[in-house]
């Protein structure tokens, strides 16, 4: 477990139900601005994390599990349409 993974996992685990952030925001909060890609890698490697609360730029669901992600997000009161999170 690297410090990077430690930071990223900590940030993601601190997310509350209904809270959605982007890979870039997670990377920035973790102290690694620009490491959005590495954030995605950590999400895929780590387990037991609310990965569905992390989306792409603009709220777009980029993952292969976007269908599952949409269901999980809607289960938390978040609306997903057109493959992206609807803000409002």
Partner DNA sequence: CCCCTGACTAGAA
Partner DNA sequence: TTTCTAGCCAGGG
Instruction: Decide whether 58 or 88 has the Cβ nearer to DNA.
Output: 58
Instruction: Please list every residue from 18 through 77 that binds DNA, using CB under 7 A.
Output: 22-24, 32, 34-41, 43-44, 51-52, 54, 56-58, 60, 62-65, 69
Place of tokens 């410090």: 3
What residue has token string 């509350």?
16
* Residue 37 CA: distances (Å) to CA of 1, 21, 22, 56, 79: 17, 14, 11, 10, 25
Q: Between residues 47 and 77, which has the closer beta carbon with respect to DNA? A: 47
Strand pairing report for 80-81 and 84-85: antiparallel
Contact set with DNA (CB under 7 A) = 2, 4-5, 22-24, 32, 34-41, 43-44, 51-52, 54, 56-58, 60, 62-65, 69
């Amino acid at each position: 477990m690297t410090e990077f993974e430690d930071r990223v996992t900590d940030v993601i685990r601190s997310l509350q139900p209904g809270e959605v952030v982007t890979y870039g925001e997670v990377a920035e909060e973790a102290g690694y601005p620009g490491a959005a890609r590495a954030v995605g890698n950590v999400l895929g490697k780590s387990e037991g994390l609310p990965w569905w609360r992390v989306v792409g730029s603009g709220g777009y669901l980029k993952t292969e599990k976007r269908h599952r992600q949409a269901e999980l997000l809607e289960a938390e009161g978040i609306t997903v349409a057109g493959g992206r999170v609807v803000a409002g």
